[in-house]
Structure 1
Amino acid sequence: MDTPNRATLLAVTCLGQFMVLLDNTIVGAALPDMQHRLHTQLTGLQWIVDAYVLLVAMLLLSGGVFADRFGRKRVYLTGVAVFTAASVVCSVAPSVGWLVAGRVLQGIGAAALSPASLALLVAAYPVPQERVKAIGLWAGFSGIGMAAGPVAGGILADTFGWPAIFLVNVPVGLVLLLMGRRVLTESRNPEASALDIPGTVLSVLAVGTLTYALIEGGARGWTSPVILGGFAVSAALLAAFVVVESRSPAPMLPLRLFRQRLFTVSNTAMVAVGFALMGSSFFFSQFFVYVQGTSLLQAGLRTLPMSLAMVVVSPFAGRLAARYGFRAVVAGGLALAGLGLLTLGVVHADTGYANVWWRLTAVGVGFALTLSPLTGAAVLAVSPQEGGLASGVSSTTRQIGAVLGVALLGAVVRSRQSGGASFEAGLDSAFVVAGIVTLAGAVFTGLWLVTSGPAPAPAPQGRPAEAKSTGLAEAVRPE
């Protein structure tokens, strides 16, 4: 593929991923408006967010396999079409039920679009050094999309109402469909495994049941037989999933990948990132609107320091990881983000904004330092032929963390309120929990950096396996 076409392909794939990640966070800014117009409570808001994130998390692995097996261009364009149509459904939803249904459809489209976009990118850049730069841009757009969501959502919801946050996807989707048909070339993995139907079904049921128990536990009570049964069923389904995958000749999630420490650590850290970033973002707009009394527009603008920090830092995160090693950069980023979240846990209604913006900035810088290196590490830890699968696993772990973050932090807030605490006190506790989880991720990554030796990993073409075991710096080093 010539350079101009590859540049256009890069733009198409990055824009598609930007749209998917934007929808992860743009809804958060409009939640107060949705709560007012749709007459719902915190549990309803959690389902509006998690219906999308949950379907993405449950189907991303299948989306990666579909892309490798049936054609990455075909799956990508199908995902864009479904996502765009679902956005229209969301924008005209007359009730929470209809909106949740539209979000489910959006999640299905995103689960096809996201892994196929990165797989197209990996196939178009066979040279490792060029591939690392392209992945860095793709992952950078992911971070920018997540960062831009609160600001864009606040502006659109305050000016036009919450349906506008979904309508904005329609022109973008149409442009992607027109450009994608022209510039994308079909590629697939001729050795791709068959579809793993039992594994897919078990993963869907396990994550879905766990999410239901976490969200509804705050409303029904944690000792409710339904909730306790939900946790038990989820654990049993997860155990069955592991057994099925370990015995399947063509598993959707080859457990052998997790024998590579680089792959395992990057995906474990990604869970912490998704949990804290998405879980805390769910409450930012509600904090500014309900606790500090701002408008939706002001709430969106007040998250701008975090957004700008991610926009500025994200493009450089991959380079820093290539120079210093992904584990050192990720551990530092997680530590900074975790400390920022802990300081947000002591912000109150009368705290001046001059004492808030720098906390959001620390969170944004910290997470920006993690997204690109973690994605790149996960993909580079496997062979190029498994790019779709690796991107699916990486995105899945982030989305699973996001699902758990929204569900569990929402449960923290509800539990505090049911105990007589104010909504403000509940938010403080939620931010503190998010900070603790993030710091735990930093400690885990840092300890692995200190105590582990080189871990064997599949080598890129023409490169010895041990060259990749120490991180991105080794993976991109010229011969």
Structure 2
Amino acid sequence: MACLGQFMVLLDSTIVGAALPDMQARLHTEMTGLQWIVNAYVLLVAMLLLTGGVFADRFGRKRVFLSGAVVFTLASVVCALAPSLNWLITGRVLQGIGAAAMSPGSLALLAAAYPVPQERVKAIGLWAGFSGIGLAAGPLAGGILVEAFDWRAIFFVNVPIGVILLLAALPILRESRNPNAPAIDIPGTILSILAVGTLTYGLIEGGARGWTSPVILGSFILAVVFIAVFVTVEARSATPMMPLRLFRSALFTVSNTAMVMVGFSLMGSVFFLSQFFVHVQGASILNSGLETLPISLAMAIASPYAGRLAARYGFRIVVTVGLAVAGLGLLAFGFVHSDTGYANVWWRLAVTGVGFALTMSPLTGAAIQSVSPQESGLASGISSTTRQIGAVLGVAVLGAIVTTREAGGASFGASLNTVFMVAGAASLVTAVFTGLWLVKAKPAESVGPEPRRQVQTVD
């Protein structure tokens, strides 16, 4: 059931991308409006994932997970019935709140159920496999639903999934929590939300308003101030929501740093895939969903094996290879043009999907294994937060590249070629970073520490 919840969250990520061309036509919005349809969700997820992980550890992972599922399902109804762009963005905000509770809750439930590191890595691989299936189903399901109805259908599809999840999970899932969880760090919670919120707002709006506009510069300045105050408060707090000691672990720090770049390259490039096939190659929305399928299908197939490979060879080797493969796939896709036949396109997407599949679950597993089982909700929240911040960076920065290139006279297709190459280069640079760290790392760090204490489980 935890995996099904993650499936629903990831399905929503890619199914929306397939519907963006139809949304643009029916809602009469420009690129900025499309970015907000995606980023309103990503923004709230990024702001609240850390809080969701802390709440899951303290109040019960099952409780927080199922509460998120209720909010996500109801928010999907709001999106489906939205009469305007502003209402749709409001619904996406509510979806983000629900997803911020579901995602760390689902991962923490798995971590509590599998306290042995090697078994936990394999379970996280299965969790990542369901995530990959959700990613894979999104473009095709979105194309079919939009072709048969319109963009509203992609949100209605979440309702039966949410209902099935709730009815099945209530009797099956066992509650677990951290019995030693400290009181909620209210100042830290507020400061973390403000810091991530101001930073992501500036990244989202920077391309449209201009990176030197007073509003954008002000948001970045506020973000720096909030981050500095947050670090100071957390360092002095007896019960911080994000213990800074976690970052003394090289395993934890490097895995989260790499996760930022995974979010940047993966979600930033996926945002533009459907638009590339529709607006550059002239495909229908249904065909664009089919044509983007190789990247998601490859992730669905390869993700379960990533956990097994990481358990056997260590996460650093698997992650370094995965990032390099993903980067090469994106660079290759950057050479696709309007007249490139699909026989010479699909394999580039498949290579990219395999690379990211080898990367995501080992990075997540490494972050969780570097802390005690009692803090698994917090660790999963931090890991998911860094990925979402990377996703915001990807959509915002790559979107700004498109806007800037088009303003300079480049075609939309040429602008997208640049986007895919930048995403690929970012993945390759991150691969070099993890590879160099691999050389310096101790062999004992390749899997992660043994759990220090069992988690209290409540029937």
TM class by shorter chain equals: over 0.9
- Report the Cα offset of residue 149 of structure 1: 2.0
Which residue in 1 is equivalent to 2:175?
186
* Aligned residue identity for 2:170: R
Structure 2: tracts of 5 or more residues without a match? 455-459
Alignment of 1:368-379 (within 5 A): 368-379=357-368
Matched residue, 1:394: 383
Q: Which residue of 2 aligns with 1:290?
A: 279
In the TM superposition, what is the alpha-carbon distance from 1:392 to its structure 2 partner?
0.9
Counterpart-to-counterpart distance in 2, 1:334 and 1:254: 29
Preserved contact between residue 372 and residue 453 of structure 2 (Cα < 8 Å): no
Partner of 2:318: 329
Secondary structure of 1:294's partner?
coil
Q: Give the corresponding residue for 1:132.
A: 121
Matched with 1:31 is 20
* Letter in structure 2 aligned against 1:182: P
> Do the aligned residues in 1 keep the contact of 2:255 with 2:366 (CA within 8 Å)?
yes
Choose from 201, 206, 212 the match for 2:201. Answer: 212
Matched with 1:103 is 92
Post-superposition Cα deviations, 1:287-314, rounded to whole Å, max 9, x if no partner, equal 0001111100000100122122112111
State whether residues 260 and 455 of structure 1, in contact with CA within 8 Å, keep that contact through their aligned partners in structure 2. no
2:312 equivalent to 1:312: no
Equivalent residue for 2:451, pick from 452, 460, 471: 460
1:423-448 Cα offsets, whole Å, 9 max, x none, are 11221111111111111110110000
* Greater displacement, 358-367 / 150-159: 150-159
Query: C-alpha displacement at 1:462, in angstroms?
Result: 8.5
Which residue among 396, 416, 421 is the counterpart of 2:410? 421
1:360 shift after superposition: 0.6
One-letter amino acid of the structure 2 residue matched with residue 147 of structure 1: A
1:230 deviation in Å?
2.0
Q: CA deviation at 1:416?
A: 1.0
- How far 1:384 sits from its partner (Å)? 1.0
**1:473 aligned partner:** none
Summarize the Cα distance change of 1:264–1:214 in structure 2 as closer, same or farther, 3 Å threshold.
Answer: same
Is 1:231 the counterpart of 2:220 in the alignment? yes
**What is the aligned residue count?**
452
Report the counterpart of residue 381 of structure 1 in structure 2.
370
How has the CA–CA distance of structure 1 residues 19 and 166 changed in structure 2, closer, same or farther, with 3 Å as cutoff?
Answer: same
What is the letter of the counterpart of residue 86 of structure 1? A
- Contact 1:337/1:438, CA 8 A, preserved across alignment: yes
CA distance in 2, matches of 1:148, 1:377: 27
Provide the rounded CA distance (Å) in 1 between the counterparts of 2:88 and 2:208.
20
**Equivalent residue for 2:154, pick from 162, 165, 179:** 165
Q: Distance in 1 between matches of 2:313 and 2:195?
A: 38
Please give the alpha-carbon distance, in whole angstroms, between the structure 1 residues aligned to 2:61 and 2:397: 35
Q: CA deviation at 1:264?
A: 1.1
Instruction: Flag the 1:455–1:208 CA change in 2: closer, same or farther, 3 A.
Output: farther
State whether residues 140 and 371 of structure 1, in contact with CA within 8 Å, keep that contact through their aligned partners in structure 2: no
CA contact (8 A) 1:305 1:357 kept: yes
The percentage of counterpart residues that share the same residue type is 74
Say whether the 8 Å CA contact 2:256–2:367 is kept in structure 1: yes
The corresponding residue for 2:236 is 247
Equivalent position SS for 2:176: coil
Please say if residues 139 and 375 of structure 1, whose CA atoms lie closer than 8 Å, have aligned partners that are also in contact: no
1:47 is aligned with what amino acid?
W
**Map of 1:155 onto structure 2:** 144
Are 1:143 and 1:371, in contact at CA under 8 Å, matched by a contact in 2?
no
Please name the residue that 1:117 is paired with: 106
1:142 maps to 2:109: no
TM-score by length of 1: 0.91
2:346 — aligned with what? 357
Contact in 1 for aligned 2:122/2:311 (Cα 8 Å): no
Task: Tell whether the 8 Å contact from 2:81 to 2:152 is kept in structure 1 after alignment.
Answer: yes
* Farther off after superposition, 61-70 or 219-228: 219-228
Question: 1-side partners of 2:282 and 2:6: how far apart?
Answer: 33
Structure 2 equivalent of residue 6 of structure 1 = none
* 1:5 matched residue in structure 2: none
Equivalent runs, 1:39-118 vs 2, <5 Å:
39-118=28-107
Q: CA deviation at 1:71?
A: 1.3
Residue by residue over 1:366-419, the C-alpha shift from the partner in whole angstroms, topping out at 9 and shown as x without a partner, is 001111111111111111111111111111111111111111111111111122
Superposition TM-score, scaled by structure 2 size: 0.95
In the alignment, the residues of structure 2 paired with residue 53 and residue 17 of structure 1 have an alpha-carbon distance, to the nearest angstrom, of: 15
Give, in angstroms, the shift of residue 20 of structure 1: 0.9
Distance 1:276 1:28 in 2: 15
Counterparts of 1:386 and 1:372 in 2: how far apart (Å)?
18
Could you tell me whether the CA contact under 8 Å between 1:261 and 1:455 is conserved in 2?
no
Does the CA contact (< 8 Å) of 2:115 and 2:451 recur in 1?
Answer: no
Instruction: Name the SS for the 1:182 alignment partner.
Output: helix
User: 1:409 and 2:398 equivalent?
Assistant: yes
Q: By how many angstroms is 1:127 displaced?
A: 3.8
* CA distance in structure 2 between the aligned counterparts of 1:84 and 1:398, rounded to whole angstroms: 23
Letter in 1 for 2:402: V
Q: Distance in 2 between matches of 1:422 and 1:198?
A: 48
* 8 Å Cα contact 2:53-2:104 kept in structure 1: yes
1:339 to 323, 328, 343: 328
| SS in structure 2 of the partner of residue 283 of structure 1 | helix
Aligned residues of 1:88 and 1:167 also touching (Cα < 8 A): yes
Kindly indicate whether the alpha-carbon contact (under 8 Å) linking 1:276 and 1:435 is maintained by their aligned counterparts in 2: yes
2:260 corresponds in structure 1 to 271
Deviation of residue 76 (structure 1)?
A: 1.2
Using the alignment, how far apart are the partners of 1:348 and 1:111 within structure 2? 37
**How far apart are the structure 2 equivalents of 1:96 and 1:281?**
22
SS across alignment from 1:187:
strand
Deviations 1:255-311 (A, max 9, x none): 111111111111111111111110000000000001111100000100122122112
What amino acid sits opposite 2:450 in the alignment? A
Partner of 2:457: none
Q: Could you tell me how far 1:334 is from its partner in structure 2?
A: 0.3
- Residues 462 and 254 of structure 1, relative CA distance in 2, 3 Å threshold: closer
Q: Is the 8 A contact 1:262 1:455 kept in 2?
A: no
**Which of 151, 162, 176 in structure 1 is aligned with 2:165?**
176
How far apart are residue 112 of structure 1 and its match?
0.7
1:458 to partner: Cα distance: 5.0
